[in-house]
Amino acid sequence: MNETVPVKSLKKALDLLDMLLFEDAEEQGFAVNELAGKLCLPANSVHNLLKTMRICGYVEKNGSGRYTFGPACRRIAYRNYQRGDDFREKVIAVMREAIAILNESMVFTILASNTWNTLVRAEPTGKVVKVDMEEVERRYLFETATGRVMFSYSSLARRSVLIRENGHPEKQWPDYEADSARIRKEGFCMCMRERYGLFTYGVPVFGKTGELIGALGVYTVPVPGYEKRNGKILQTLLESARKITAF
């Protein structure tokens, strides 16, 4: 039995979007009258829906003035791609190249459900673990270099949500406000992870459209003289992050 649709205008907009995404294999776009005919709706109603969806980024006009899906849809598609095996294998290849240079443990982390999650972890031996977003304690966000990078590059609104979901950072990260500004200015974070006695490095990783998708990090034992390797580690991380962005 079909459920009654509570918001019919939203259903119409979603039907439009479905058509633009999945019934235009050659991506030639549709005219308003074509869409109206296919959906059995008045042309002026379809035009108003398209106008609203265009303002919100879900619809755009192509070079022929016909309607097709917009940049918001491409961001959704890219986000799904980032969670897929093909993307992950490319990330792993980049991480292996970096490990061959540094001989240190490396991670690729993301924010999922507003918590810090490891997506891929690689060891100096070359062993790669596809962690697949393991369950982690929420406080890890503020005690790791990669977590601090992702927090620092998030919008103010997102940072408020992250604090609400993960607790206040002051205990693990007393100077988080000043440090966040410095991280955004310098483009990286270095800090000691006291819990495990490891020194951690983190750099942001951006998608093709400029949005933050995660962070690359290196964990190293702070043996005497390890500071001399800081430049090499950060340079390798930044180059690896740029390679991932290019995918």
pLDDT in tens, 191-214: 998 888 889 999 999 988 788 889
The per-residue pLDDT for 1 is 42
- Low-confidence stretches of the chain (pLDDT < 50) are 1, 133
CATH of 78-245, one of 3.30.450.40, 3.40.190.10, 3.30.70.1430, 3.30.160.70: 3.30.450.40
The per-residue pLDDT for 83 is 64
Q: Where does 8-69 sit in CATH, by number?
A: 1.10.10.10
Neighbours of 33 (CB within 10 A): 11
| Residue 190 dihedral angles phi and psi, to the nearest 5° | -130, 130
**CB of 55 within 8 A of CB of 102?**
no
Q: Token digits for 120?
A: 């891929």
Which H, E and C letters describe 71-101, residue by residue?
A: HHHHHHHHHHHHCCHHHHHHHHHHHHHHHHH
Indicate the domain borders of the chain.
8-69, 78-245
Neighbours of 201 (CB within 10 A): 26
For residue 5, give the DSSP letter. P
The per-residue pLDDT for 154 is 92
